[in-house]
Amino acid sequence: MSRVVTVFGGYPDSETTGGLRMAWRTAAALIRRGHEVAVLTDSARPPGPPDDLPVRFLTREQLGASPDWRRPDVVHVYDLASAEYAGLGYELARESGAEFLLTPASDPGTWPDHRLGRRLCGAAGAVFTLTPSEAALLADFGVPASRIRHIPQAPDLIGTGDGAAFRDRHSVSGPLVLFLGRKVPSKGYHLLLEAAPLIWRALPETVLAFGGPSGGRADQSVFARHRDEQILDLGLLDESTKHDALAACDLLCLPSCADVFPLVFAEAWSCGKPVVSGRFAGVEDVVRADVDGLVCDLTAGHVAAAVLRLLRNKDLRTSLGAAGLTRIRDGMNWPHVAAVVETAFPGARDGRTQRGER
């Protein structure tokens, strides 16, 4: 078994992004497979029972005071949108002689240090990708195909969602469209807001609920321009409320223009809900159009048309949501993710017991 240090940087407002959730959940799944895992991060631990994430938590100072953890077998960096901790993880691997693994977990357009991102992709013994399109992009960066490995996305939900309670709390009796994500332009929250009048023209009782952290002053001014009692700006949701919202909605709408594989799609499908996605590069590897969701062009009119198509057709919503749920049950889970990651550990390749040789 291996000693693994998982490394990733945090985000403002205690936001736990899809990439960070992937890191925490994969670390916990590896522990259950017998590995010794610590997380090096400045991110807060996700909420939930301690037994749900039995992962050792390290700060930089604690790492420096721990000789054992300064000599891991594997260093696995997540999310190249956090350049500082990505670089820190690479240096730890280089100095200790550990196997260096990488899960980019974000679109290259969001990397703050593109040169560092490409260098770490080239240095990694294995790079884990979520879609064939992401793999092709990394191959264009010069990463050998033999080092690129596919992992599935998986939902990260706690408890049992109570949709009726969510609707009661917010006095929602009609159609409910849910946006979950950071309120930044690349996630397309503004397109759904601009689509609202077009949706209401056809289905006036529709409520649009927006959950997720603020992107700053810009999104606050956008919401101020679209203020309406049928628009719910819920802010950053706790885990229970997020699950309730997914259980309550008729569909999830994330008209993103830059993404890899949004975790919230897996979470919507795990609740049997269809998704509406924006047309970003590689979306065809994520959403199977007219099978488990719809894909639309990045205009308010196209977003409204996709939303209305689902709201007007309950059978289609049910069919797409059921197909998504089947997809989740067929292998989109954290034990599967951990099993793939484990294949890149040195001992899995050559049978060595790493700590016994150090």
The secondary structure of the chain in percent helix, strand, coil, rounded to multiples of 5, reads 45, 15, 35
pTM of the model: 0.88
> What does the pLDDT average to over 16-29?
87
Residue type at 275 in one-letter notation: V
Task: Give dist(CA 273, CA 166) in Å, integer.
Answer: 16
Mean pLDDT for 102-116 is: 91
pLDDT of residue 53: 62
Q: How far apart are CA 158 and CA 164, in angstroms?
A: 17
Secondary structure (3-state) at 166: helix
Q: How far apart are CA 136 and CA 133, in angstroms?
A: 5
Model confidence over 148-199: pLDDT tens digits? Answer: 999 999 999 988 999 999 999 999 999 999 999 999 999 999 999 999 999 9
DSSP-derived letter for residue 238 is P
Which range (17-21, 266-270, 318-322) has the least confidence? 17-21
Average pLDDT over every residue of 257-277: 96
CATH number of the structural domain 3-152+333-357: 3.40.50.2000
Task: Give SS3 for 261.
Answer: coil
Question: Range with the lowest mean pLDDT among 200-209, 332-341, 348-357?
Answer: 348-357
In degrees and rounded to multiples of 5, residue 99 shows phi and psi of -65, 130
- The C-alpha atoms of residue 25 and residue 288 are separated, in whole angstroms, by 25
Task: Give the CATH superfamily of 163-329.
Answer: Glycogen Phosphorylase B; (3.40.50.2000)
Residues of each domain in the chain carrying CATH 3.40.50.2000: 3-152+333-357, 163-329
Question: How large is the C-alpha radius of gyration of the chain?
Answer: 21
Question: Which secondary-structure segment (H or E) carries 56?
Answer: strand 56-58
- Residue 355's pLDDT is 45
CB-CB contact of 309 with 276 (8 Å): no
The pair phi, psi for residue 94, each rounded to 5°, is -65, -45
Tens-place pLDDT, residues 190-249 = 999 999 999 999 999 999 999 998 877 777 888 888 889 999 999 989 899 999 999 999
Average pLDDT, stretch 46-50? 60
Residue 350 neighbours by CB distance under 10 Å = 6
pLDDT tens digit string along 234-262?
Answer: 998 989 999 999 999 999 999 999 999 99
The answer to whether 213 and 183 have CB atoms below 8 angstroms apart is yes
For residue 75, the one-letter residue type is: V
Residue reference for tokens 């970003």: 280
pLDDT at 109: 86
Given a contact cutoff of 8 angstroms between Cβ atoms, the answer to whether 270 and 198 are in contact is no
pLDDT for 80-96, tens place per residue? 988 899 999 999 999 99
Residues 6+ apart with CB under 8 A from 274: 251, 252, 268, 292, 293, 294, 310, 316, 317, 320, 321, 324
Q: pLDDT higher for 65 or 352?
A: 65
Q: Which residue has the higher pLDDT, 39 or 51?
A: 39
* Averaged pLDDT for residues 33-37: 94
Residue 192, token pair as written in the block: 């759904």
For residue range 286-317, list pLDDT tens digits in order.
999 999 999 999 999 999 999 999 999 999 99
Mean pLDDT of the chain: 91
Tell how far CA 339 is from the center of its chain: 19
Per-residue pLDDT at 353: 39
> Residue 357: which pLDDT band, with cuts at 50, 70 and 90?
very low
Q: Give percent above pLDDT 70 in the chain.
A: 93
Residue 47 pLDDT > 70: no
Instruction: Answer for the pair 80, 106: CB distance below 8 angstroms, yes or no.
Output: yes
Query: Torsions phi, psi of 235, nearest 5?
Result: 70, -165
